[in-house]
């Protein structure tokens, strides 16, 4: 029997990470090594998706961004249709690889706990910056992910990409990835 394998992204695919980042209340406290004005400025930068302008691997801002993201990892809500989809996959014998951009050196434990607490089955949990290359290297034909790079380039490398439709996807052209509103659509596509 051939075991089918699927790679599934976590943030903004299985959960509402960006909505949580934008709406959650993050309180300033004395554990930050800077003043409240810097805290508010950094928080605005994190919410806008700003990266770190420094060439250094770790800066005050990058550590702050990680701390805010860490809180969002715990606070983000699972999509009910995603939970049902993942349970559906497991019930049909699929091998499930959670493939995330999260720094799992720091967030492995909380990520695994969040998945288990939300009833999301998985076989493997990997961090990958280029999920298309990851899927090709591991012989994974299906990827569910919201990232524009993967949507645009998946087909070129024979990876079928399915993505939850979001505002950032409006106007995307020149790809064969399939956008969905509900995970039931993905069930149909991978069952045929």
The tally of CA atoms less than 13 A away on the side-chain side of residue 55 is 0
HSE (CB half, 13 Å, CA atoms) of 61?
A: 18
> What pLDDT score does 2 carry?
77
Q: What share of the chain is helix, strand, coil (3-state, %, to 5)?
A: 45, 15, 40
Other C-beta atoms closer than 10 Å to the C-beta of 170 total 7
| pLDDT for 1 | 64
pLDDT at 17: 97
Topology annotation, domain 5-16+77-191: Rossmann fold (3.40.50)
Question: What pLDDT sits at residue 192?
Answer: 66
- pLDDT score recorded for residue 35: 94
Task: Enter the tokens of residue 166.
Answer: 């979001």
Residues of the chain with pLDDT under 50: none
What's residue 147's pLDDT? 95
Residue ranges covered by each domain of the chain: 5-16+77-191, 18-75
């Amino acid at each position: 029997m051939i075991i089918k394998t699927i790679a599934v992204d976590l943030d903004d695919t299985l959960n509402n990470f960006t909505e949580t980042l934008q709406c959650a209340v993050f309180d300033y406290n004395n554990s930050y090594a800077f003043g409240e004005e810097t805290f508010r400025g950094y928080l605005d930068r994190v919410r806008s998706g700003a990266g770190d302008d420094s060439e250094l691997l770790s800066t005050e801002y990058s550590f702050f961004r990680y701390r805010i993201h860490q809180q969002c990892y715990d606070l983000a809500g699972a999509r009910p249709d995603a939970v049902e989809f993942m349970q559906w996959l497991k019930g049909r014998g699929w091998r499930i690889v959670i493939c995330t951009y999260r720094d799992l050196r720091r967030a492995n434990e909380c990520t695994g706990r969040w998945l288990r607490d939300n009833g999301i089955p998985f076989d493997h949990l990997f961090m990958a910056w280029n999920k298309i290359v990851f899927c090709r290297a591991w012989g994974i034909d299906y990827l569910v992910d919201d990232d524009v790079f993967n949507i645009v380039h998946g087909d070129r490398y024979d990876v079928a990409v399915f993505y939850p439709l979001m505002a950032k996807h409006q106007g995307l052209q020149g790809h064969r990835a399939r956008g969905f509103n509900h995970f039931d659509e993905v069930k149909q596509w991978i069952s045929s």
